[in-house]
Amino acid sequence: MDNSQLESTINEIRKRSGTVTVFNKDKISNAIFKALTATSKADRGLADQLTDSVVNKLVEQGFTSSRAPTVEDIQDIVESTLIDSGNSDIAKAYIVYRHERRKLRDEKMKILNLKSLDPVSKKFDLNCLRVLASRYLFRNGKNEIIESPTQMFERVAILVVIGDILYDSQIFDKAGNTNQDIDEAKSYLEKLDAFDYKFRVGDYYLNKWHFRSLINHYVTLANKGQMKINFKELLTLLATKKLDSYADRITENLELMTSQDFLPNSPTMMNAGGRLGQLSACFVLSMEDDMEQIMKSTSDAALIFKSGGGVGINYSDLREEGDIVASTSGVASGPVSFMNIINTVTEVVKQGGKRRGANMGIIEAWHPDVEKFITNKTEPGVLENFNVSVGIWEDFWHALVNTKDGNYVLRSPRDNKPVKEISAHQLIDLIALSAWKSGEPGLIFFDQINKYNVFAKARQAPIRATNPCGEQSLYPYESCNLGSINLVNLVKKQADETYEFDWQRYEEIIRKTTKFLDNIIDVNNYPVKEITIASKESRRIGLGVMGVADLLYKLRIPYNSKEGYDLQAKLSEALTYYSMEESVALAKSRGGFPLCSKTEYPEGKIPVSGYYEKPKESHSYEWDALIEKIKKYGIRNVLVSTVAPTGTLSMIADCSNGMEPAFALVFEKRVTVGRFFYTNKIVEEVLKENGLYSDELLAKIADNYGSLKGLDEIPQWMQDVFVTAMDIHWADHLMAQAVWQDWIGNAIAKTINMPYDATVEDVKSAYLLAHELGLKGITVYRDGSRHKQVLHMTSENAQKIFEVTPTEYVTSFVAANITNPYIKAQVNAALAIKVHDEEIKAESLIHEEISEDRLCPTCKNNLVFVEGCSMCIECGYSGCTSG
């Protein structure tokens, strides 16, 4: 009997759960191949040959199309076949593999509170599932998990497609000339329980919270006269399966997420299809100099924290400490005191019951309290729930870089009158010193943010605030929905075993995910009425990326090289171009964002600096044609792209964070039985392929700040390609942020890493270079600086044995492009290669004691500092809200 006949006699296999699935001998071959690989005999031909023997034995033991073997039957026969064929070493490896698989299965079921594993749980690794269990999966009143990861992604995918359904041509009329009974639709909000799991799209059932979103979305469109049919007719279409074609869209969105190709921001996965229903990560509130308004903003902030979002507030409109309050003849307590109120509210109100809120507190450089604000967070325990930044405008920058004495006037927010004169040089030095000591404040360049702000005309004001991590600038009461595409998944293997980037698939995913995020705006349950209005007026979305460092590893391209920068620039340009093009297509079918005609879009302006500042011949896409389409059809979303922090999202997607370089290639976890190492999967594979992988080498890498640099055992090409954040000079960090910023509509969440021995002058020079490069903001983090605690922990024994210098690409750029004498002198001095003696080079804060406030509040492991915020690499806790 030949193999095809043998296989045809066994059609099915009985799984552990009791369900029956199709028999696939490739799965047997793959398991044997893994055992062969473990014994250094990676031979696919031998694996297939042994698999044929296993199938033979199955038939001999009486398994047929009517008597299906179980998984255990097959595994037992694999073991006996390996032993009988004289491959006892492989049999041993297979038994170990089988045991480890069983252990892993049991561990997953325990974490997820499942009796058998669902498809996502089988596919995702243990760390991904731990994060999902701790943050995202729904729980009952006893705090027990009550949904599987597959069910979680399904509830998100279903909700997103509710956004699509109401734009179906049977239901929607863009012209908006139809009156419907809106109260009839609203009446269904009173009986949600009666419609829990009553309607379905294909095989996907709508729960009552999905149904609530359907009602609210219908009401919004009916208010604009755009619903052709009444609400009962809509329900009839659903009941009679006339809308079942949308099941394919649900499946498509589901696969986008479960394939780890794309994930929306954390609140979407936490709340979609749930009672809270709040899906946005970023919010900005105003803080006017009026007690009633201050209390309203505080109350609104509490509602946002409760719903799972984070808040940015510019406190510059509050009068300075000591100023007279006319209504009471009292004395103003100043902006910092009101920040403390919000800080306390954050502490008390956990975000969606899952985590503490995050805040951005901003004071502009002209405010009389700016110096107090700058130094406020250099001590531990102060404003722990805040990131703080100083807002910079053109007048301050001019005083700093174009005037010798740097005289700069601080003005009262109450009447704009001068309060005192300071030196811009002294102020930037103070900011640099504070950031050198503690990582804060950051700088926000409001002049750059507003340079191409097409929305300012409609709002009749510039943007003056950002979300907690600084990558998303917003007007008061605006929100933004973020999502990130996992770029490392978009590679394809070529015949020679190398990888290339799949640009066509990238375009397809950008288009799908732009629509995904636009739908989120319609089905979102916003926490405050003003946020609903402002968010729908601008329909701002923030499509971004993650996995950039891992992508470059796979392509064998150094992050900080001309080739690396060129690829990142093209990835960035494609992201915004295709997303804007899709947004125009959505405007054609659904209408542009309501305020589009009042912006600069009809004049042919776009919010993309690269279009204006990069030579046309260097553009990869037809921007002029796109601008003409926008003038003709409008655009659906005021801005489309943002590179946000992806801390926990990256853990779920199993890739590197955002566009950051890798934090470390190997880092240590101390357990009771000794040292245990986490290793970057791509690097682990390369070390094994080159016969270099060993526990001794992993320990050496961990003790070298998680870097390959300077290790004699590691070939030079690996040291060049597999770079970490600590291998890259701060000027190259800025360059990487800049090549993304050229084409991103909003901004970038990135940390500018500096070594422990960086100087205050380095920090100041980074500010100057950042502004010259067109960045919208900057967060500097000097290793080991924050409250004298180590956040960048790779090993307790870490010593850096390598020196980091700027690349020729950066030094050439500075030489060719910076013309301002003050900036040029400062930056050139900082970029000059410094010679350190061995003591300074090896100096480290690694042995400092770690205080409780710098440990993860969830699991008490060490926090690391990436993408401008603290994050736990163990459980996924993040000080930011987007990911």
Q: Nearest CA to 135 among 256, 258, 268? A: 268
Active site annotation includes 471 = yes
Residue 292: partners with Cβ closer than 8 Å, 6 or more residues away: none
Task: Classify residue 850 by its DSSP letter.
Answer: P
Query: Quick check: 569 and 743 in contact, CB under 8 A?
Result: yes
Q: How far apart are CA 748 and CA 641, in angstroms?
A: 10
Q: How far apart are CA 321 and CA 333, in angstroms?
A: 5
Q: Which of 359, 453, 467, 680 is catalytic?
A: 467
Three-state DSSP at 638 gives coil
Three-state DSSP at 475 gives coil
Query: Quick check: 737 and 643 in contact, CB under 8 A?
Result: no
> What are the residues facing 313 on neighbouring strands?
285, 361
The dihedral of CA 533, 534, 535, 536: what is its sign?
Answer: positive
> What are the residues facing 411 on neighbouring strands?
418
Q: Which of 469, 480, 875, 880 is catalytic?
A: 469
Q: Nearest CA to 306 among 343, 339, 265, 353? A: 353
Instruction: Give the tokens for residue 874.
Output: 């163990």
Task: Classify residue 413 by its DSSP letter.
Answer: T
Query: Quick check: 435 and 780 in contact, CB under 8 A?
Result: yes
Q: How far apart are CA 564 and CA 736, in angstroms?
A: 9
Query: Quick check: 347 and 301 in contact, CB under 8 A?
Result: no
Q: Alpha helices, DSSP H only, in 379-502?
A: 394-402, 424-438, 446-449, 456-459
Q: How far apart are CA 220 and CA 224, in angstroms?
A: 7
Query: Quick check: 476 and 465 in contact, CB under 8 A?
Result: yes
Q: How far apart are CA 341 and CA 280, in angstroms?
A: 23
Instruction: Give the tokens for residue 700.
Output: 């050496």
Q: Which of 154, 364, 471, 582 is catalytic?
A: 471
Q: How far apart are CA 196 and CA 214, in angstroms?
A: 13
Residue 112: partners with Cβ closer than 8 Å, 6 or more residues away: 121, 129, 132, 133, 137, 145, 148, 149
- Taking CA atoms, 657 is separated from 565, 648, 703, 782, in Å, by 17, 9, 22, 19
Query: Quick check: 360 and 377 in contact, CB under 8 A?
Result: no
Active site annotation includes 469 = yes
Active site annotation includes 453 = no
Q: How many CB atoms lie within 10 A of CB 486?
A: 27
Q: How far apart are CA 265 and CA 351, in angstroms?
A: 14
Residue 580: partners with Cβ closer than 8 Å, 6 or more residues away: 606, 626, 630, 635, 640
- Taking CA atoms, 345 is separated from 302, 334, 578, in Å, by 6, 18, 40
Q: Nearest CA to 506 among 557, 440, 574, 562? A: 574
Query: Quick check: 800 and 844 in contact, CB under 8 A?
Result: yes
Task: Classify residue 779 by its DSSP letter.
Answer: -
Please state whether beta strands 359-364 and 752-754 pair in parallel, antiparallel, or not at all (unpaired): unpaired
> What are the residues facing 202 on neighbouring strands?
none
Three-state DSSP at 404 gives coil
End-to-end Cα, the chain, rounded Å: 56
Q: Nearest CA to 452 among 334, 583, 603, 306? A: 603
Q: How far apart are CA 190 and CA 565, in angstroms?
A: 55
Angle of helix 730-741 relative to helix 562-590, nearest 10 degrees, comes to 30
- Residues acting as catalytic residues: 467, 469, 471
